[in-house]
Structure 1
Amino acid sequence: MVTEDSVQVVDLLISNLDNGDHPFHLHGHRPWIMGTGTGRYIGQASERNEPTSVRRPPFLPLPTLADPRCRRNTFLVPEYNWMVIHFITDNPGLWVFHCYLAWHMAAGLLMQINSLQAIISQCTATVGESE
């Protein structure tokens, strides 16, 4: 679990080092996809020396001035690829980041992001909670 008590900017590297695709989902946030590439991520370039600044996944729309990077909360990390996502922990809650494949979650491909815990602690009821 990752816990942040103040608003933070997070860059999260996802490395898929096996021969299966992983559809990931981040609850509570809408991250930007900052880059992707093949092989292992090493600094600003992958093992194949492909700079992240010019690589764009083929399934992403072209960036525009209004939306320079793609934002989505579900994304596919293909086999033997990496992806860097960027998000801001400005939404209080205990949020799950996971692979959509159930047996992958059961095997541990899941983590929690605890955003602004002090604010959560001040809440007395949740939506849908009966009295």
Structure 2
Amino acid sequence: MEKNRFIHYGLVLTLIASISAGILSVVNGATQKVIKENEKIAVNAARTLVLPKAVSFDEEATVKVDGLDFIPGNGDNGRPVGYVVTVSEPGYAANIDFVLGIDRRGRVTGLNIIGSQETPGLGSKILDLEWQK
């Protein structure tokens, strides 16, 4: 009698776990597209901040250098005014993701940190715009 109860509980727990996994899978599939779109919007906003003279970014004309993708930012006339690059480098707690803008002369035009999980206090100050300046 005792053995049948454990089998019953095991089957019920397996059924609950299977239903939960199925629901999580469906929700993940439904939200994955929205999450990717939001990430793309955030990166494009950061690109505009770090290369303000650019009105559009031509991902088709990406230049690869040392494993990094430099995307040209085009001005009003359609010609490149500089490049933006998205970089992910290790920090203390996790990777720090940032977008860097570089003009045609090789000068840094801006830096925008788009992701960081640094420790509160000293490490999290990198998200302050004053620190980034």
TM-score range, shorter chain: under 0.3
Query: What TM-score, normalized by structure 2, do the two folds share?
Result: 0.26
Query: Could you say which structure has the greater relative contact order, defined with CA pairs below 8 angstroms and 6 or more residues apart?
Result: 1
- Structure of higher CA gyration radius: 2
Higher strand share: 1
Query: What TM-score, normalized by structure 1, do the two folds share?
Result: 0.27
